[in-house]
């Protein structure tokens, strides 16, 4: 069983229901049409000489073309490679050396990278998607209306039978920059994608008939497997904190969207637009946000934006998505008071599909293999802060070639556990509380302090947009991005964070954030900013 099998099943069960609505391209595919397109793409890939295990480097934005091409590769066991083209030539060269692609599929603009990348020029087969580019083949496989739809059995497509794909076969490979300069390759097998779907479906309450505005590529696969209609918006999702909220609002209403999963920065754009226009989105029924810290006031703002919607914060990572989730309605007054007092950030109950434990924070040191008995004895009790570690079928077991495993993996008996690098604790109800990255902790003469405790306090002030606690020149500095950085605000904030012995509060025009979600504080980037303003 694979994600492709589940898609075929949806084509059989609901052939006329919409699967993908590509708002930018003005293109809609039903599940039956998507099934035919994917089968045609699979046949076209194989006609070009690609075989099971071959890799295709993909530079195509979220679109119907992307998912048709991607699922076509999955269908016969080929591998899709994804990397950040803006990371620079050296990163491109290193990634292609780690896993050599046999083909390149790119939009015309991305083909320009070949001018400065010998590795891209060496790829044997080159295809252009969504346009034309010199010395490439145009990639636009289309199934005709006469192509038979899905047969009664998912594996009986009359023209394009599924190839033999094993659960352990790699399906998706994504590259991130490693701490040593060697790119880490995250390999997701077909079994991993299926396990991730089985964890996401209940956590996100995926139901056939829902209409989801998709902002994160991996969630589209789960939608298709669950029979959920996916709207691929006409927006630049590479910068969720800068999307055109008015345009998105119109698309949400036009396509009758019922659910959205997005980063806090994306939702903040919609919230601000609703505030300015004094409008709401009453048709929305479910809102999920994550990829960055989700503070209580964002959940409240989302409730005001869509009062009929269930509002949920989702905690996870690239290596384990999801880990925990928190329904806004499950947050008690005592929880809010605890977060406002610096207790940390409530992330909610761990999902049942994984195992989670808290170990002593030993960031920067590898963990040796241990027995089950030793591991359980080392797990910290309720309320004690340490590093969050997880294991399960949808938790990545390792990186390609082992690069990065020493820092993030360890063995408990025969089972591989993943070190999230996040600090947390479990409360008496088994819920997870977050305290920030282990690497961002402060150890000084005042003791040990994690950033989220102080940042949660700061984020209770409505004038404060972002907050980050760091040490700079030996002092605890609270950097603030505020809409109204007044002396009165500084005075109130100073009193609120006094127990944390913060030695300086510094207002900055903007705090640097991550590129992917535009919501997580970039702590190394903030240190560079502080060196400029306070050398």
Bridge partners of 326, per DSSP, are 313
- The percent of residues in the chain predicted with pLDDT above 90, rounded, is 85
pLDDT at 159 over 50: no
What pLDDT is attached to residue 87?
A: 79
Please compute the mean of the pLDDT values over residues 389-416 and round it to a whole number: 95
Tell whether the model's pLDDT for residue 151 goes beyond 60: no
Q: What is the mean pLDDT of residues 79-90?
A: 88
Residue-averaged pLDDT of the chain: 92
| pLDDT value for 427 | 98
Is residue 527 pLDDT above 80, yes or no? Answer: yes
pLDDT above 80: residue 297 = yes
pLDDT at res. 153: 39
The pLDDT of residue 515 is 81
pLDDT of residue 148 exceeding 90, the answer is no
How far apart are the C-alpha atoms of 444 and 265, rounded to whole Å? Answer: 33
pLDDT higher than threshold 50 for residue 366: yes
> What tokens does 90 get?
């050296």
SS3 assignment, position 22: strand
CA distance linking residue 313 with residue 296, whole number of Å: 9
pLDDT at 145: 53
- Inform me whether the pLDDT recorded for 160 exceeds 50: no
HEC-encoded secondary structure of 339-374: HHCCCCEEEEEECCCEEEEEECCCCCCCCCCECHHH
- Tell me the average pLDDT across 396-423: 95
Q: Which two tokens stand for residue 268?
A: 């903040």
pLDDT of residue 68: 96
Residue 444 has what pLDDT? 93
Compute φ and ψ for 198, nearest 5 degrees: -65, -20
Q: Can you give the pLDDT at residue 514?
A: 87
What pLDDT, on a 0 to 100 scale, did the predictor assign at position 88? 83
Tell me the three state secondary structure of residue 492: helix
Per-residue pLDDT, averaged over 169-193, amounts to: 85
Residue 457 and residue 441: Cα distance in Å, rounded? 16
Q: Are the CB atoms for 519 and 313 separated by under 8 Å?
A: no
Render pLDDT for 17-54 as a digit per residue (tens, 0 to 9).
Answer: 999 999 999 999 999 999 999 999 999 999 999 999 99
**pLDDT value at position 152?**
39
Length of the chain: 535
How confident is residue 182, by pLDDT bands cut at 50, 70 and 90?
confident
Q: Could you tell me if 74 and 3 are in contact, meaning their C-beta atoms sit under 8 angstroms apart?
A: yes
Is residue 149's pLDDT more than 50?
Answer: no
Q: What is the pLDDT of residue 142?
A: 75
pTM of the complete model: 0.92
Taking 60 as the threshold, does the pLDDT of residue 280 lie above it?
yes
Backbone φ and ψ of 292, nearest 5° = -165, 165
Q: Is 504 helix (H, G, I), strand (E, B) or coil?
A: strand
Mean pLDDT confidence for 382-409? 95
What is the sign of the dihedral through the CA atoms of 85, 89, 91 and 93? positive
Higher pLDDT, 86 or 349: 349
Q: What percent of the chain has pLDDT over 70?
A: 95
What pLDDT, on the 0 to 100 scale, is given for residue 413? 97
Q: Quick check: helix, strand or coil at residue 56?
A: strand
Mean pLDDT check: name the lowest of 6-10, 154-158, 215-219, 436-440. Answer: 154-158
Where does the pLDDT of residue 253 fall: very low under 50, low under 70, confident under 90, or very high at 90 and above? very high
Confidence label for 238 from pLDDT (cuts 50, 70 and 90): confident
Going along the chain from its start, the domains and CATH numbers come out as: 31-189 (3.40.50.980), 353-440 (2.30.38.10), 441-533 (3.30.300.30)
Helix (H) or strand (E) holding 533: helix 523-533
Q: Say what the pLDDT of residue 154 is.
A: 37
Q: Distance between CA 448 and CA 442 in Å, rounded? A: 6
Alpha helices in 48-175 (DSSP H): 64-76, 89-98, 108-111, 118-121
């Amino acid at each position: 069983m694979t994600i492709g099998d589940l898609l075929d099943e949806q084509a059989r069960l609901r052939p006329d229901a919409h699967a993908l609505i590509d708002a930018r391209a003005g293109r809609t595919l039903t599940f039956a049409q998507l099934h035919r397109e994917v089968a045609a793409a699979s046949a076209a890939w194989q006609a070009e000489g690609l075989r099971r295990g071959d890799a295709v480097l993909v530079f195509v934005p979220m679109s119907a073309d992307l998912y048709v091409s991607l699922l076509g590769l999955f269908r016969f066991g080929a591998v899709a490679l994804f990397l950040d083209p803006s990371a620079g030539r050296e990163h491109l060269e290193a990634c292609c050396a780690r896993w050599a692609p046999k083909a390149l599929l790119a939009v015309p603009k991305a083909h320009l990278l070949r001018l400065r990348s010998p590795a891209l020029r060496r790829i044997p087969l080159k295809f252009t998607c969504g346009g034309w580019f010199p010395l490439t083949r145009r990639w636009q496989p289309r199934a005709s209306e006469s192509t038979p739809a899905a047969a009664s059995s998912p594996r009986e497509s009359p023209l394009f039978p599924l190839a033999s794909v094993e659960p352990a076969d790699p399906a998706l490979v994504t590259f991130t920059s490693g701490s040593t300069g060697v790119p880490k390759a995250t390999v997701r097998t077909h079994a991993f994608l299926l396990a991730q779907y089985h964890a996401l479906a209940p956590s996100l309450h995926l139901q056939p008939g829902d209409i989801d505005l998709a902002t994160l590529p991996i969630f589209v696969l789960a939608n298709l497997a669950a029979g959920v209609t996916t709207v691929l918006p006409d927006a630049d999702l590479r910068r969720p904190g800068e999307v055109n909220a008015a345009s998105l609002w119109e698309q949400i209403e036009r396509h009758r969207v019922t659910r959205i999963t997005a980063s806090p920065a994306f939702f903040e754009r919609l919230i601000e637009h609703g505030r300015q226009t004094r409008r709401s989105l009453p048709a929305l029924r479910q809102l999920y946000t994550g990829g960055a810290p989700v503070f209580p006031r964002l959940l409240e703002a989302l409730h005001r934006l869509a009062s009929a919607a269930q509002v949920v914060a989702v905690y996870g990572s690239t290596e384990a998505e999801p880990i925990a989730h928190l329904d806004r309605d499950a947050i008690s007054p005592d929880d809010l008071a605890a977060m406002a007092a610096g207790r940390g950030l409530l992330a909610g109950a761990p999902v049942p599909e994984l195992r989670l434990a808290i170990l002593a924070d030993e960031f920067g040191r590898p963990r040796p293999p241990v027995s089950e008995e030793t591991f359980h004895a080392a797990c910290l009790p309720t309320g004690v802060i340490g590093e969050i570690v997880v294991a399960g079928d949808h938790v990545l077991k390792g990186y390609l070639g082992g690069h990065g495993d020493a820092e993030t993996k360890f063995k408990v008996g025969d089972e591989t556990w993943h070190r999230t690098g996040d600090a947390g604790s479990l409360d008496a109800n088994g819920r997870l509380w977050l305290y920030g990255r282990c690497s961002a902790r402060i150890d000084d003469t005042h003791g040990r302090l994690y950033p989220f405790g102080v940042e949660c306090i700061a984020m209770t002030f409505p004038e404060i947009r972002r907050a980050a606690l760091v040490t700079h020149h030996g002092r605890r500095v609270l950097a603030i991005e505020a809409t109204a950085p007044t002396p009165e605000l500084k005075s109130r904030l100073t009193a609120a964070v006094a127990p944390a012995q913060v030695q300086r509060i510094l207002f900055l025009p903007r705090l640097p954030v991550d590129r992917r979600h535009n919501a997580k504080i970039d702590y190394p980037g903030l240190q560079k900013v502080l060196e400029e303003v306070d050398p």
